[in-house]
């Protein structure tokens, strides 16, 4: 089956695609496995309701046409095994508060930011097993009831069904390999929901992505502001997105949120490889570090993603 793309989608792919596999003839577009062209193709496929794994992007250089050929679904025993592994990992994940020590200046600052309405912007390195436990611990410690995640906005029905007690549609997550989505996240979401301490989950990554890094961050900030309302939210994203000032990649989401909300505060996560400022083994330390706060997460481990 052939699915035609919009003019904006065609222009976006022509600007990002790495090469034509047929060297200038009509044929399949080839994208780098983890490059922006691959991300763009996956987002466009989802926007048309097509699983990325079933979409083959094709182009005709002579006419400028770009379209999707939908592959017939195939049974993939390996993918089925990964799905079962992911579901078991959710059930086996130990949810609990991290051993967290908060220095008094950091505690006073965060308490004031809660009173001012936040949000808490937690900058993570994707793919660390303890990241969802950081969210769990901070939300419980400071009484936050809204969690915002750098997940594709079109996964909303998947999350709603899961929290309502339905089966998790792992197939919708199967291409998520960058560590934003992990088994621990679903275990933490379920625990917060079960305990009645989760009012709302916000998924703020736009689908499809806009053309530039700064445009994407602008759209993410707008979605966070719109969907969190006046609630103090914990917002988790890659650390470049949570910065409160412009940097070499562009204008980050955090800068937009800080402009709109006086209570915005940045918490940067630190992982092994940098000496922790505390000698107590296994203890997370939250302290002031100039314009931001810093939370050291010792013994960081690699998380399990839906892709394995």
> Would the pLDDT of 273 be above 70?
no
User: pLDDT higher for 298 or 62?
Assistant: 298
Q: Which residues of 276-291 are buried (b: 16+ CB within 10 A; e: fewer)?
A: beeeeeeebbbbbeee
- Whether residue 252 contacts residue 217, with contact meaning beta carbons closer than 8 Å, is answered with yes
pLDDT at position 38 is 72
Query: Are 213 and 146 in the same domain?
Result: yes
Q: What is the mean pLDDT of the chain?
A: 88
User: pLDDT higher for 2 or 78?
Assistant: 2
- Whether residue 145 contacts residue 119, with contact meaning beta carbons closer than 8 Å, is answered with no
- Residue 232 confidence class, pLDDT cut points 50, 70, 90: very high
Q: Which of 70, 88, 121 is the endpoint of a domain?
A: 70
Query: Are 27 and 150 in the same domain?
Result: no
Query: Are 52 and 7 in the same domain?
Result: yes
pLDDT at position 147 is 98
**Token digits for 213?**
């890094």
- Average pLDDT of 60-81? 71
Kindly give the pairing relationship between strand 65-70 and strand 2-4: antiparallel
Query: Are 9 and 127 in the same domain?
Result: no
- Residue 24 confidence class, pLDDT cut points 50, 70, 90: very low
What spatial distance separates the first Cα and last Cα of the chain, rounded to whole Å? 30
> Would the pLDDT of 274 be above 70?
no
> Would the pLDDT of 205 be above 80?
yes
Q: Is residue 302 part of a domain?
A: no
Q: Is 299 helix (H, G, I), strand (E, B) or coil?
A: coil
Query: Are 137 and 59 in the same domain?
Result: no
- Strand boundaries in the chain, DSSP class E: 2-4, 19-20, 27-30, 55-60, 65-70, 100-102, 120-124, 146-152, 200-205, 233-238, 265-270, 284-289, 292-296
What's the chain's Rg over C-alpha atoms? 21
* Dihedral over alpha carbons 95, 101, 106, 112 (to 10 degrees): 50
Please tell me the least confidently modeled range out of 38-42, 105-109, 235-239, 274-278. 274-278
Q: Which of 17, 52, 70 is the endpoint of a domain?
A: 70
pLDDT at position 19 is 43
Whole-number Å distance between alpha carbons of 96 and 130: 11
**Distant-in-sequence, close-in-space partners of 296: CB < 8 Å, separation ≥ 6:** 269, 270, 274, 276, 277, 278, 284, 285, 286
pLDDT tens sequence across 58-69: 877 777 778 888
Query: Are 56 and 200 in the same domain?
Result: no
pLDDT at position 72 is 65
pLDDT at position 31 is 53
Q: How far is C-alpha 82 from the geometric centre of its chain's CA atoms?
A: 20
> Could you write out the DSSP letters of every residue in 94-125?
------EEE-HHHHHHHHHHHHTT--EEEEE-
Q: Which of 70, 104, 122 is the endpoint of a domain?
A: 70
- Whether residue 146 contacts residue 199, with contact meaning beta carbons closer than 8 Å, is answered with yes
- Average pLDDT of 17-23? 43
> Would the pLDDT of 18 be above 50?
no
Q: What share of the chain is helix, strand, coil (3-state, %, to 5)?
A: 40, 20, 40
Beta bridge partners of 296: 270, 285
Which CATH number fits the domain that encloses residue 130? 3.40.50
pLDDT tens sequence across 140-180: 999 999 999 999 999 999 999 999 999 999 999 988 999 99
Whole-number Å distance between alpha carbons of 282 and 298: 6
Query: Are 112 and 231 in the same domain?
Result: yes
How many domains would you assign to the chain? 2
Residue range of the domain that includes 10: 2-70
> Would the pLDDT of 34 be above 90?
no
User: pLDDT higher for 80 or 136?
Assistant: 136
pLDDT at position 119 is 97
């Amino acid at each position: 089956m052939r699915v035609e793309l919009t003019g904006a989608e065609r222009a976006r792919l022509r600007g990002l695609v790495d090469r034509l596999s047929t060297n200038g003839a009509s044929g399949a577009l080839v994208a780098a496995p983890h490059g922006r062209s691959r991300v763009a193709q996956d987002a466009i496929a989802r926007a048309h309701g097509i699983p990325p794994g079933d979409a083959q992007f094709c182009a005709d250089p002579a006419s400028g046409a770009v379209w999707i050929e939908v592959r017939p679904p195939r049974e993939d025993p390996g993918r089925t095994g990964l799905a079962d592994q992911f579901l078991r990992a959710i059930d086996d994940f130990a949810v609990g508060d991290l051993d967290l020590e908060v220095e008094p200046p950091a505690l006073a600052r965060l308490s004031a930011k809660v009173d001012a309405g936040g949000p808490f912007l937690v900058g993570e390195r994707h793919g660390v097993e303890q990241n969802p436990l950081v969210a769990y611990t901070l939300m419980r410690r400071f009484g936050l009831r809204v969690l915002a995640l750098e997940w594709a906005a079109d996964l909303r029905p998947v999350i709603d069904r899961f929290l309502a007690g339905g089966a998790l549609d792992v197939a919708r997550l199967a291409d998520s390999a960058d560590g934003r989505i992990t088994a621990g996240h679903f275990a933490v979401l379920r625990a917060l929901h079960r305990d009645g301490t989760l009012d709302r989950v916000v998924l703020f990554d736009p689908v499809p992505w806009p053309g530039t890094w700064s445009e994407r961050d602008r759209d993410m900030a707008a979605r966070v502001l719109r969907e969190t309302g006046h609630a103090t939210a914990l917002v988790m994203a890659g650390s470049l997105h949570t910065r409160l000032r412009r940097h070499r990649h562009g204008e980050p989401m955090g800068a937009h949120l800080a402009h709109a909300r006086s209570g915005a505060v940045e918490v940067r996560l630190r992982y092994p490889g940098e000496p922790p400022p505390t000698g107590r083994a296994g203890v997370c330390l939250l302290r002031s570090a100039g314009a931001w706060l810093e939370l050291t997460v010792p013994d960081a481990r690699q998380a399990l993603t839906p892709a394995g």
